[in-house]
A = this chain, B = another copy of it.
Amino acid sequence: MTYSLENGLLDELIEKHRPLCQQGSLPSYIPALTNPQQHLAGISIIDIKGSRYNSGDYLLPFTIQSISKIITLTMAILDQGEDFVFSRVGAEPTEDKFNSILPLEISSAYPPNPMINAGAIVVTSLINGKTSQEKMDRILNFTRKLANNPEISVNEEVFISERRTGNKNISLAYYLKDANVLLGEVEDVLDTYFRHCSISLTASDLANIALVYSQDGKSLTGEQLIPPMVCRQVRTIMAMSGFYDESGRFARRVGIPAKSGVGGGILGVVPNRMGIGFYGPSLNTKGTSIVGFDVLEELIEKLDLSIY
């Protein structure tokens, strides 16, 4: 049997897997994220022909959280060049937790990859901009362009909450500073880091962003926003490390370059085919949307879209 997006497949998947949300939980360590209702779930897909398929809560805003790491990685490569970026941060997946400090002390103070928090903090420091504000303006503008949505902005309440309680990230940043891996002022880098994690958008926005990575840097409107080779680099990093210590499990069960965020979002890229945005705030123990994981697994399998 062949499946297609035409016949209500997304509605079917959302309804089938939504009850899983009860087995997950909301992230307690970010107080402002405990607000959303646990049962929300929505998906948005846009293919390279421009066709859109949506279901559920795909227009509800949430914070991007770690999904912003692929945007800042892209910008850092554009600003500093691939070689320089990967001289400050590795490209190797790690079996440690997303906020682990262990590999920095055991192996090398250069974080193993740009998707774990330590790596993303370093990447944030590499983005051009004279001030934290200027860097953030550039990140926000680039995000709006990628999503083709000039309305996207920062959720200040979430930013303030995380800035005040994100002690593990502060610890990581000072550790990196101590090891001369982090350049610039620690508190400025942290301002930018927490702020770009607090960008608010929808599953529909994520789908648009994903589409750009899917079609080698071309936007919906045909503009070349990112060079093809940079897009491939970012897709590779997503495939290898986008889900931290369940990246291998995601590859095995789903099999596309993707990135999760503890805000409940997942951005998925099917190269040369489509961009996917998902929202479902109930998380599994690794910080991935528990509904999103299973919806994507069945979707990719039914449409035979695995890259492997």
Chain A residues within CB distance 8 Å of chain B: 86, 90-96, 100-103, 105-107, 112-113, 167-168, 170-175, 177-178, 186, 232-233, 235-237, 239-241, 245-249, 251-252, 255, 257, 271, 306-308
Contact = CB atoms under 8 A, between A and B. Distances in A.
Contact of A178 (B90, B168, B248, B306): B168
Contact of A240 (B91, B235, B247): B247
A123 B126 CA distance: 37
A251 to B, nearest CB: 5
B306 A247 contact: no
Given A93-B92, A174-B168, A241 B236 contact: no
Count identical subunits in the complex. 4
Nearest to A178: B167
Contact of A252 (B106, B233, B245): B233
B171 A247 contact: no
Contacts of A168: 174-175, 178
A106 B91 CA distance: 22
A93 B247 contact: yes
A221 B145 CA distance: 51
Contacts of A175: 101, 167-168, 171
B171 A178 contact: yes
Nearest to A166: B178
Nearest to A233: B252
B251 A236 contact: yes
